[in-house]
Amino acid sequence: MITQNPKAGLYLEDLAVGAQFLSGSYTMTEDEIKQFARQYDPQVFHLDDVKARSTVFGGLAASGWHTAAVAMRLLVEGGLPIASGLIGAGTELRWPRPVRPGDTLTVQTTVLEITPSRSKPDRGIVLCRSDTLNQHGEVVQQSTAKVMVLRKPAEAQ
Q: For 62-98, what is each residue's pLDDT tens digit?
A: 999 999 999 999 999 999 999 989 999 999 999 999 9
Confidence class for position 2, pLDDT limits 50, 70, 90:
very low
C-alpha span between 70 and 81 (Å, rounded): 16
Give the pLDDT confidence score for residue 156 in this predicted structure.
62
* Domain 12-156 of CATH type 3.10.129.10: yes
C-alpha span between 15 and 114 (Å, rounded): 8
Q: By C-alpha distance, which of 139, 143, 134 is closest to 27?
A: 134
Which residue ranges make up each domain of the chain?
12-156
| Longest Cα separation, the chain | 60
Contact 141, 66 (CB under 8 A): no
- Cα angle value 128/150/112 (rounded, 5°): 20
> At residue 157, does pLDDT exceed 70?
no
Within the chain, how many helices (H) and strands (E) appear?
4, 5
